[in-house]
Amino acid sequence: MRIVILGGGFGGLNAALLLGKALQSTPHEIVLLSDAPCFLFRPSLIWVPFNKRQIKEISFPLNEILQKVRVQFMQKRVVSILPKEKQILCENGTRLIYDYLIIATGAVPAWEQIEGLKGNTASVYNAHAALQTKRRVGEIKVGQPILIGVAQQNPSQGMAYEFLFELHAFLHERNVQCPITFFTYEKELFNHKGKKVTLILEKHMKEKQISHYSDVSITKVEPGCLQLSNGVSLPYSFSLILPPYKGAEFIFASPDLDHENGLLVTNKGLQSTQWENIYVVGDANAMKEYKSGRAAEVQGKIAARNILNRIQGHSRQQEYHPDMLYVMELGTDGGMFVIRYPGSREGTPYFEWAVDGYLPHLMKLAFEKYYSWKLS
């Protein structure tokens, strides 16, 4: 039996580690395919523009990690999937056959969905973008207007808030005073994570004199000026705006895969609703939930266990239920820890709790250190 995992991020790597350990002394073959040679701990990209992390400190070679659990690593770019033939087509023409497939190839910015956005905003989405942003924040001058925001349909808003507070701290340290504005399409600041979260963020923005707008979308972007749906025009010299997401290019190039904007639909067991031997985890999944590394990790492990169960002849399939454990950096004020769990019974309210201060900042560091320890 051959299990192929596409993607070496939180979802794919955790699935591979679990399957590798469980199937080490069996004849089953596990292959992880990724177009990048390393696992990148993306939550720490938030620190790269401010010179608090170097890319090499947060990159871990997949080959070395996977060798330890006898998972084969192939650095290749997938260009298409042929689910009827159970085949994966790679860039150089290589074809790989699978019995089970886990798709964990994440999502990419859909810049084209908002005209004018591409090229007029910085990004921290990947290593290359974070390094470009590092150069640009170093060029910000006193008095230049700064705009940070979350465009409509972005499913991972936390990093915009983190960037906002980290940038404020960076400029404050250098005594570079600039008017900063924040906007989001969310009804209130980070509001679907509970009212307490919104109040904490409002307090920190007020203290730092950051003006903000919520429940707004972008209507027009031009170099140096952005218009919101409430009629407000915001000038900017530097901007970082999170765009909408879409799935990886190869999904669009796979005619037998039904998708929603490149994202794949699954049941609660993370099994494709279209192809029973395909599982989809993390940002690549069309599930409407907050997209995070932690969610991708949990989903990767569930998909791996569900495949294991099937190989071992059990019909049991574990279900994924979205929850939230999130740590957000708050610049000079440490961080904020957010918990949101479904009630114990169907229909009962969510348990929600949030706290800010230095301890949550230490928790974010611990998340990073845990991965560094686990992958070394």
Ligand X SMILES: Cc1cc2nc3c(=O)[nH]c(=O)nc-3n(C[C@H](O)[C@H](O)[C@H](O)COP(=O)(O)OP(=O)(O)OC[C@H]3O[C@@H](n4cnc5c(N)ncnc54)[C@H](O)[C@@H]3O)c2cc1C
Please tell me the total number of residues recorded for the chain in this structure.
376
Coil, helix or strand for 10?
helix
- How far is 361 from 46, CA to CA, in rounded Å? 13
- Residue 155 and residue 243: Cα distance in Å, rounded? 9
301 vs 308: CA distance, rounded Å: 10
Which of 15, 31, 33, 201 touches ligand X by CB under 6 A?
A: 33
Euclidean distance between CA atoms 332 and 362, whole angstroms = 13
Touching ligand X, residues 239-278 (CB under 6 A): 248, 250
**Smallest separation, CB 81 to ligand X (Å):** 10
Complex with ligand X: residue 110 or 228, whichever CB lies closer: 110
Q: Does 193 bind ligand X (CB under 6 A)?
A: no
- What sign has the CA pseudo-torsion 249, 255, 257, 262? positive
Considering only residues 118 through 137, tell me which ones interact with ligand X, judged by CB under 6 A. Answer: 124-125
Q: Is 32 in the site for ligand X (CB under 6 A)?
A: no
- Our CA angle for 119, 120, 125, nearest 5°, is 70
Identity of the residue, 228 or 242, whose beta carbon is nearer to ligand X in the bound complex:
242
Report the residue from 28, 53, 77, 208 that binds ligand X according to the rule CB under 6 A: 77
**Residue 270 contacts residue 298 (beta carbons within 8 Å):** no
Q: Is 294 in the site for ligand X (CB under 6 A)?
A: yes
Distances (CA, A) of 334 to 146, 174, 193, 358: 22, 18, 19, 4
Our finding on whether 362 is near ligand X (CB under 6 A) is: no
204: contact with ligand X by CB under 6 A = no
Residue 340 near residue 328, CB atoms below 8 Å? no
Helix pair 293-311, 10-22: axis angle to 10 deg: 30
Tell me the number of residues near ligand X by CB under 6 A. 35
Beta carbon nearer to ligand X, 53 or 208: 53
- Whole-number Å distance between alpha carbons of 307 and 301: 10
Residue pair 180/168 in contact by the 8 Å Cβ criterion? yes
Q: Is 125 helix (H, G, I), strand (E, B) or coil?
A: coil
- Answer for which of 18, 103, 151, 159 binds ligand X (CB under 6 A) is 159
List the x/- string, 296-335, binding to ligand X by CB under 6 A. x------------------------------x--------
Q: Which of residues 73 and 228 has its CB atom nearest to ligand X in the complex?
A: 73
* Candidates 23-31, 144-152, 230-238, 281-289; binding stretch for ligand X (CB under 6 A): 281-289
Q: Which of 5, 19, 31, 46 binds ligand X (CB under 6 A)?
A: 46
Least distance between ligand X and beta carbon 25 (Å): 27
Pick one of 45, 336, 338, 354: the residue that binds ligand X (CB under 6 A).
45
Contacts to ligand X by CB under 6 A:
6-12, 33-36, 42-43, 45-46, 77-78, 104-106, 124-125, 156, 159, 248, 250, 282-284, 291-294, 296, 327
